[in-house]
């Protein structure tokens, strides 16, 4: 894993690609090559509006230590496309960055070093621009709680997790790194693939985490508060956005929390509770219009359609059956 390699002594820096790595050239990117007597590093960048694409190749002839520098907090998806063997001074931080896997990382500013044994290493990194981090990562539990140290730089990895790169994400990565189409057409194709890769990669990590991480006691209490609020306000038109604002929470957390704790996502839960309450009211003899109003439906016809879809009969038929 390398970001912004720092040129070391006796390292030649140029904007031309070494012949040995020319087959990996991506059209429309900004290349920077660094060469020593033991290794060649090629970094190709594609700056976009919400992210920066980095395609990094490291050809190592003899075991090499490469110094790297981060000048700001960095959030990125790191796809390991080629990695014969990788280790660092911090066991457990990079040991499991295996070929064919990817991680979401938060790295703090500083200098760090990584040792590369002989071989060809390939990394595709999608660096999220800071102003878009909160929009893309709305779940504040998204990252693993603890930082690990990697030779002087704190690294926080999502749920301490590396996932295998699925076929659809490999195909998106290939669209980026094999682009040979010049001009705006090629740039547009790469931008579309990069953004889809970013969103889909984050989504898969989130789904995996939500399926494996138990709900904490404090979060369970928060979900119980939300459930109580819903049950007390069935006469309102409750929306997910309303609940997020009321309890200062994210949509993703709310959806997955409800699904994990109650078996239904929050929208399904609200709908079921409204229909169950409607059945109780109809059994008590209230009219269809009255019931519709009392569970937050402005239009009785919409209520009737929703009720029939849920119960299997119209509210009128249900009322007659239970009168």
In this structure, is residue 159 part of a structural domain? yes
Tokens of 214: 């138990």
Task: Say if residue 23 is in the same domain as residue 162.
Answer: yes
Task: Say if residue 270 is in the same domain as residue 182.
Answer: no
Give residue 12's pLDDT band: very low, low, confident or very high (50, 70, 90). Answer: low
Q: What is the pLDDT of residue 192?
A: 94
Tokens of 108: 């703090």
Q: ∠118-122-126 over CA atoms, to 5°?
A: 145
Tokens of 215: 């709900």
Give the strand pairing for 148-150 and 12-14.
unpaired
Q: Which residues contact 277 (CB under 8 A, 6 or more apart)?
A: 234, 294, 295
In this structure, is residue 72 part of a structural domain? yes
CA-to-CA dists, residue 81 to 3, 12, 58, 208, 300, angstroms: 15, 25, 12, 21, 57
Q: What are phi and psi of 110, to 5 degrees?
A: 150, -175
Instruction: Give residue for tokens 């969103």.
Output: 199
CA gap 221, 216 in Å, rounded: 9
3-state SS class at 163:
strand
Task: Say if residue 222 is in the same domain as residue 272.
Answer: yes
The per-residue pLDDT of the chain, averaged, comes to: 80
- How many domains does the structure of the chain reveal? 2
Assess contact for 103 and 1: CB atoms under 8 A: no
CA gap 145, 84 in Å, rounded: 29
Q: Which residues contact 185 (CB under 8 A, 6 or more apart)?
A: none
Which residue, 196, 211, 226, sits at the end of a domain?
A: 211
275: CATH: 1.10.10.60
Among 91-100, 198-207, 314-323, the range with the most confident prediction by mean pLDDT is 314-323
Task: Say if residue 236 is in the same domain as residue 131.
Answer: no
In this structure, is residue 4 part of a structural domain? no
pLDDT in tens, 27-61: 888 888 888 888 888 899 999 999 999 999 988 88
Domain containing residue 261: 217-321
Assess contact for 174 and 185: CB atoms under 8 A: no
Task: Say if residue 225 is in the same domain as residue 298.
Answer: yes
- Plot region of 151 (φ>0 → left; ψ -120 to 50 → alpha; else → beta): left
In DSSP notation, 154-175 reads EEEEGGG--EE--HHHHHHHHH
Task: Say if residue 45 is in the same domain as residue 126.
Answer: yes
Task: Kindly report the pTM of this predicted structure.
Answer: 0.59
Task: Say if residue 49 is in the same domain as residue 179.
Answer: yes
Task: Say if residue 195 is in the same domain as residue 265.
Answer: no
Task: Say if residue 102 is in the same domain as residue 116.
Answer: yes
Task: Say if residue 221 is in the same domain as residue 197.
Answer: no
pLDDT in tens, 190-248: 999 999 999 999 888 877 765 555 566 777 888 899 999 999 999 998 888 889 889 98
Task: Say if residue 140 is in the same domain as residue 236.
Answer: no
Task: Say if residue 203 is in the same domain as residue 180.
Answer: yes
In this structure, is residue 1 part of a structural domain? no
Which residue, 177, 211, 245, sits at the end of a domain?
A: 211
| Among 76-85, 194-203, 295-304, the least confident range | 76-85
């Amino acid at each position: 894993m390398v970001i912004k390699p720092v040129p070391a002594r006796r390292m030649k820096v140029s904007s031309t690609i070494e012949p040995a790595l020319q087959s990996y050239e991506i059209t429309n990117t900004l290349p920077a090559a660094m060469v020593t007597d033991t290794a060649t590093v090629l970094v190709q960048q594609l700056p976009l509006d919400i992210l920066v694409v980095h395609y990094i190749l490291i050809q190592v002839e003899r075991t090499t230590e490469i110094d790297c520098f981060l000048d700001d907090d960095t959030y990125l998806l790191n796809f390991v496309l080629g990695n014969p063997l990788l280790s660092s001074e911090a066991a457990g931080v990079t040991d499991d960055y295996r070929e064919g896997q990817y991680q979401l990382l938060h790295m703090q500013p500083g200098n760090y070093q990584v040792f590369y044994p002989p071989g060809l290493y390939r990394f595709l990194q999608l660096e999220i621009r800071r102003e878009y981090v909160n929009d893309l990562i709305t779940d504040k539990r998204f990252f693993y709680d603890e930082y690990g140290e990697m030779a002087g730089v704190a690294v926080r990895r999502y749920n301490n997790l590396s996932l295998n790169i699925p076929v659809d994400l490999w195909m998106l990565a290939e669209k980026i790194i094999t682009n040979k189409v010049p001009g705006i057409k090629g740039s547009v194709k790469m931008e579309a693939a990069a953004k889809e890769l970013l969103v889909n990669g984050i989504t898969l990590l989130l789904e995996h985490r939500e399926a494996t991480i138990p709900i904490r006691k404090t979060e369970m209490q928060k979900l119980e508060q939300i459930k109580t609020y819903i049950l007390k306000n069935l006469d309102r038109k409750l929306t997910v956005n309303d609940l997020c604002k009321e309890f200062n929470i994210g949509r993703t957390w709310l959806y997955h929390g409800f699904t994990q704790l109650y078996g239904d996502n929050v929208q399904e839960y609200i709908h079921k509770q409204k229909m169950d309450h409607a059945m109780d009211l109809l059994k008590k003899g209230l009219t269809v219009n009255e019931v519709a109003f009392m569970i937050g439906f402005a239009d009785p016809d919409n209520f009737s359609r929703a009720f029939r879809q849920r119960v299997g009969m119209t509210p009128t038929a249900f009322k007659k059956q239970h009168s």
